[in-house]
Amino acid sequence: MVTDRKFVELKKGIKPPRMSEIPEGGICLSVFVVLSKKKNSNIVLMGSINKKARWDHIGALDNERVQRHGKGWMLPSSHLILGEGPQHAAKRILREQLGLTKQRIEGPRVFSEVYGPLRHWDLEFVYSGVRDTLPTCKVWSELRWVDLRQTRRQEIVRSHEDILRHVDAWHH
């Protein structure tokens, strides 16, 4: 007996089937880099967006989202570029968003979420690492070590507090 189900399997060189079940809110494949202090995993590296930087190019943020999220802290992150794997994306984020080429990271841990009235799907590849020095990169107006125990949820943008909650559970 052969099933009539059409399972989602995307392979190189094979045109994907037309998918009618993609939610109205869409599906995002995103990579997050969570760098914490060596002796305190509650202190993580976050940035405040430099609104003049090319976030459409480095982080898949259109101008409206750059403006909306420009007054809070977010993790170094990006959607995958078409054809890019999560590991390559993590290295791209380190290089383009933090100016780091030798940062050691582990992962990914993979999480998924469905949210909003349009039922947007997120598939999140999260990499983590430790460091003690603060990198500098002009795509941020400020990079800072953020103590999550002393930071209000409203200060963290793009629902990145959800990613941090996953990472906290991962470390404990």
pLDDT digits (tens, 9 = 90+) for 13-64: 766 666 667 777 788 889 999 999 998 888 999 999 999 999 999 999 888 8
Whether residue 141 contacts residue 73, with contact meaning beta carbons closer than 8 Å, is answered with: no
Q: What's the whole-number mean pLDDT along residues 71-87?
A: 92
Q: Is residue 138 part of a domain?
A: yes
Residue ranges making up the domain that contains 70:
27-171
Whether residue 125 contacts residue 30, with contact meaning beta carbons closer than 8 Å, is answered with: yes
Q: Is residue 22 part of a domain?
A: no
Q: How far apart are CA 50 and CA 114, in angstroms?
A: 29
Q: Is residue 15 part of a domain?
A: no
Dihedral pair phi/psi, residue 160, rounded to 5°: -70, -15
Report how far apart, in Å, the C-alpha atoms of 172 and of each of 26, 49, 163, 164, 167 are: 32, 30, 15, 12, 9
Q: Is residue 17 part of a domain?
A: no
CATH number at residue 133: 3.90.79.10
What pTM was estimated for this model as a whole? 0.86
pLDDT of residue 140: 95
Q: How far apart are CA 44 and CA 107, in angstroms?
A: 16
Q: Is residue 144 part of a domain?
A: yes
Q: Is residue 73 part of a domain?
A: yes
Q: Is residue 110 part of a domain?
A: yes
Domain count of the fold of the chain: 1
* 116: Cα separation from own chain's centroid: 18
Tens-digit pLDDT profile for residues 109-140: 999 888 777 788 889 999 999 999 999 899 99
Query: What single letter denotes the amino acid at residue 138?
Result: K
Q: Is residue 142 part of a domain?
A: yes
